[in-house]
Amino acid sequence: MSDPLVIPCPHCNGLNRLPAARLGDAPKCGRCKQDVLLSQPFELSEANYASQIKGDLPLLIDVWADWCGPCKSFAPTFEQAARQLSGRCRLAKLDSEANRNLAGQLGIRSIPSLILFKNGREVSRQAGAFPLQSLLEWLRSQGV
């Protein structure tokens, strides 16, 4: 039997230990009882960033802003990716205007920007919006 995966709850930031074989069973958070794995992106902020990047599942962050046209046109693609990747990768959206300090800390120079974290470390990033198939291929090339 493999070791359980540690996955932060997107709602309360509580850490959950889940057997990999049970990820498809809609696991609930031990603290807040809400779904741990979502089929849609969750909101990332300065308040939950540190806890959310620590999980054993990869975390893909879409850095965006409300005034950004390409960001708005990319949003449905990112939501489709979240549905397809549920249980393999968690997807989050970071509003760069509401979280300027964090966007600066992450070195955001253009939006939309995608940042992939594994085990608390940034492993790759891409700038710009692209089609779903290209996004999925990029993630596959990163081992997701």
Q: How far is CA 125 from the centre of its chain?
A: 13
CA gap 7, 133 in Å, rounded: 26
Residue 29: active-site member: no
The one catalytic residue among 12, 29, 32, 68: 68
Residue 12: active-site member: no
The one catalytic residue among 9, 29, 71, 89: 71
Is the separation of the CB atoms in 7 and 57 below 8 Å? yes
Active site positions, annotated: 68, 71
